[in-house]
Structure 1
């Protein structure tokens, strides 16, 4: 990696930290320059616009999510063990305990509130990334059916919907309400979902 690329990556890392706190709309070249103690002209040499900077930060967030949630989970055996690993890594991502310079809460859930009714390249990329994440969950669930862990009549779309719902409820309880029992409740809800999904053992 060249010095210029290394500097650019460091800047994106700082920008990600700021966006985790202020949201992507709160991330501007001016804010980044002030926090990173860099000149606006220097930043402009790397990013020609606020939107270009925001897109780079979103791409970095996607990379971090894949590195910290998806890849470790996919290393687990196919079927229910992998499904459980995905959920565990997702909870850790929401807690912020797996990624340096990331605050608690799911970065993508926060962006969904920022961009749900704001058309443009940022929303398009966010939607694409979340479709890919949902498909990752659904694929892991389909493999659990093939492995004989989940019922043959299992509804993968419903399962994915409920996992995302549990995760969203966990984030709200953990981050907004500071509920000390948030993780316990999330795990109980997930275990109940697994119990309903498992193949009957006769």
Structure 2
């Protein structure tokens, strides 16, 4: 096999590992993402898998980095072309709901499950998760502030508080869908978003 083919095969194997790792982590948590389990699932040797990642922690970090790419693709990119401010915020939330309920990961949003799993822990995986959440928080907060400047949200709107509440809606939606399989949660989440991000800031709450 030529070096070029060997490199291509290595990339394909790495992709298979990450893709299966994401599915497994969404179902069993990052701690369930073990070298032995993945090797058995994929029909490769442990040494072969270790050759790509070296440690369980490196595998967990790679999974979280790929999860961020998928999240941006599914949630941010569909909304990025909407006008900045309230239209983009509403488009982001619609895409976010679709992401959480569309079966992107078999066990639900990996970020939501990882947040609970990493509570009280320290280390590189928690640090990466914190950076990812902070980056998303900054992006949403910037859009809220743009909406206020545009007159689409009332003056004095607390951007950080509004983003906190948007997070709460999405966390509750994921929990209700995954634990209770209650599809009515989608309508409830949409109602909450409409209340938080009204099309007409002067309109009364729904």
* Alignment TM-score > 0.5, same fold: yes
Aligned to 1:129: 132
Q: Which runs of 4+ in 1 moved over 4 A?
A: none
Deviations along 1:94-113, one digit per CA (max 9) or x if unpaired, are 1144x3xx125221110011
In structure 2, distance between residues paired with 1:104 and 1:84: 25
Q: Is the alpha carbon distance of 1:82 and 1:104 closer, same or farther for their aligned partners in structure 2, counting shifts above 3 Å?
A: farther
Does the aligned pair in 2 maintain the 1:174–1:180 contact within 8 Å? yes
Indicate yes or no: 2:182 matched with 1:179. yes
RMSD, aligned α-carbons: 1.8
1:18-167 residue pairs with structure 2 within 5 A?
18-97=24-103, 99=104, 102-167=105-170
In structure 2, distance between residues paired with 1:80 and 1:19: 34
The size of the alignment, in residue pairs, is 197
Aligned to 1:200: 202
Deviations along 1:104-159, one digit per CA (max 9) or x if unpaired, are 52211100111111100000000110111111111111111122211121111111
Given the alignment, which residue of 1, 7, 12 partners 2:13? 7
Aligned to 1:191: 194
Report the alpha carbon displacement of residue 178 of structure 1 after superposing the two structures with TM.
Answer: 1.5
Listed as ranges, the gaps of 5+ residues in structure 1 are none
Report the alpha carbon displacement of residue 198 of structure 1 after superposing the two structures with TM.
Answer: 5.2
In structure 2, distance between residues paired with 1:73 and 1:15: 28
Report the alpha carbon displacement of residue 18 of structure 1 after superposing the two structures with TM.
Answer: 1.2
Larger RCO of the pair (alpha carbons < 8 Å, separation 6+): 2
TM-score when scaled to structure 2?
A: 0.89
In structure 1, distance between residues paired with 2:139 and 2:133: 10
Does the aligned pair in 2 maintain the 1:145–1:152 contact within 8 Å? yes
Other structure's SS at 1:75 match: coil
Other structure's SS at 2:108 match: coil
Report the alpha carbon displacement of residue 15 of structure 1 after superposing the two structures with TM.
Answer: 1.1
In structure 2, distance between residues paired with 1:120 and 1:12: 21
In structure 1, distance between residues paired with 2:84 and 2:148: 10
